[in-house]
Structure 1
């Protein structure tokens, strides 16, 4: 189980799993930002580790220091200011009836993601058109500021800490239809172009089994895994019980055991 850029839910999850007799395998989904001429945006790296490391104050502190560079109130406020500048009342594209505020976003989460911005735009500012929301917060938006940590920072952490890194949902940006899984991730061709950099950073696996991956893309990702001798994993990317339910996709028992063995070595 991983969450975006935070360790805060892991100890409660491990405790709940122990109570219910369910093995909980912990990790963190780290956001990695890119600002390139061919791609501006964020990709995700899943970092798995033994649960006992949550008792290691040094490991936890170093991980939190890494994550703090990618999110936080500073990034949220900067994004809000840019959105208001480009799309607020009086701008050249006045899509908003009023300026977005920090309180609008903070009402949803202290660790705000793009999903919380989308919810605030729809529920608090009345922007109901999904295409308009994407235009405001998507990668191609003139107001877009990518979140996440620079890949070099992630590389330093992966190389020095006992974590196993897996590239999350590499083909989700090429999902061939409408849905939450496509969102604003780049097409698989962009991910393939960046793959050598992820491998150099220490990524050892690919999340192949994923609800937003077509059979053709799963076959492509499996070919990458064979070519580079990578672990094969899976996940549902559960964000809620309606649009992204738990258990929609996942690794096989064999794939999970291979990942577990790699983490516990």
Structure 2
């Protein structure tokens, strides 16, 4: 497809391989006119990204991919909200500090330590389901990133414990693991802030958990049926868009998402979910110029 704007990308501010400047430079080289920088639960790379946008003459849309935690009888895990706002908001200290304070509840050192303890309790040496040659340490994870995600746990298991089998890694850190503790914040913790600050909230990759192929785009997201069950809560919270175009969405998924967008009067967005240059590159999904125009008209 002809991609005018790629609205979903990660940098070294969370778990991407490229700096904000490198990410913007790549988009410029690909001929993309606008790029969304949406690191996981952090605003740290956004000012640098906007500055790079001015340097390379490409429009940067600041955003955050916010992890929303659920622990239900039918689903324990996270769904993601892509929260977009004007670059001028980055100069508003009250906005930035308020957003950071909310996001801090869902990640950080406390959550990482709790997850490490749960993994050791179940899979550590001498345990009934022992899979680790030694106890996992907080430092194993913190050495990889200050904003650790599941990806960093997987890297540590490979590098420090020699566990390369994907099934074994998922057994330890996947949603169905007995050691799993979901990250993120509760939806009600961020609703008021989104509404008060006129943030454009988009439900990220709704159907990726039902992607039929292998690869990183599916990750450990829930199947479409679970997302559909929870969707009314996001609608009530005031989301304004759906990420329709996504590498982990089949044509059938895209058509279904478009029907949802029409039914609930939601914007259509899309993005590559870039994390690196090989397995999850930028510039593979996005939206057209007309779709971006509608997006920008809603963005404040």
Tell me, yes or no, if structure 1 residue 258 matches structure 2 residue 294: yes
Cα distance in 1 between the residues matched to 2:166 and 2:81: 27
Distance 2:192 2:155 in 1: 34
Per-residue deviation, 1:141:
0.4
Report what 1:200 is aligned to. Answer: 236
Alpha-carbon distance between aligned partners in 1 of 2:185 and 2:291, rounded to the nearest angstrom: 28
Q: What pairs up with 1:52-201 in 2 under 5 angstroms?
A: 52-201=88-237
Deviation at 1:162, TM superposition (A): 2.2
Report 1 or 2 for greater relative contact order, CA contacts < 8 Å, sequence distance ≥ 6: 2
* 1:215 and 2:251 are equivalent in the alignment: yes
**Higher alpha-carbon deviation: 201-210 or 251-260:** 251-260
For residue 3 of structure 1, give the secondary structure of its aligned residue in structure 2.
strand
The 3-state SS of whatever aligns with 2:254 is: helix
Distance 1:124 1:28 in 2: 30
| Structure 1 stretches of 4+ moved >6 Å | none
Give the unaligned 5+ runs of structure 1. none
CA root-mean-square deviation? 0.7
Aligned residue in 1 for 2:76: 40
Who is 2:45 aligned against? 9
- Residues of 1 paired with 2:121 and 2:230: CA distance? 31
SS in 2 for 1:25: strand
TM-score, with length taken from structure 2: 0.87
Q: Report deviation, 1:17.
A: 1.1
> Of 60, 63, 81, which aligns to 1:24?
60
Deviation by residue 1:102-134 (Cα, 9 ceiling, x = unmatched): 111011110011111111111111111000001
Aligned residues: 264
Conserved 8 A contact 1:30-1:67 = yes
* Partner Cα separation in structure 1 for residue 55 and residue 129 of structure 2: 53
Whole-angstrom CA distance in 1 between matches of 2:73 and 2:262: 30
- 8 Å CA contact 1:44–1:167 kept in 2: the answer is yes
Q: 1:231: how far off?
A: 0.3
Tell me the SS of whatever aligns to 2:240.
Answer: strand
Q: Deviations over 1:54-88 (max 9, x none)?
A: 00000001100110010010000000000011111
Q: Please give the alpha-carbon distance, in whole angstroms, between the structure 2 residues aligned to 1:207 and 1:156.
A: 22
Residue of structure 2 equivalent to 1:231: 267
Give the whole-Å Cα distance in 2 for the aligned partners of 1:37 and 1:106.
31
d(CA) in 2 for partners of 1:59, 1:223:
34
Structure 2 runs not aligned, ≥5 long: 1-36
Please state whether the residue corresponding to 1:47 is helix, strand or coil: strand
| CA shift digits 1:13-63 (9 cap, x unpaired) | 011111111111111100000000000000000000000000000000110
Q: Residues of 1 paired with 2:155 and 2:57: CA distance?
A: 35
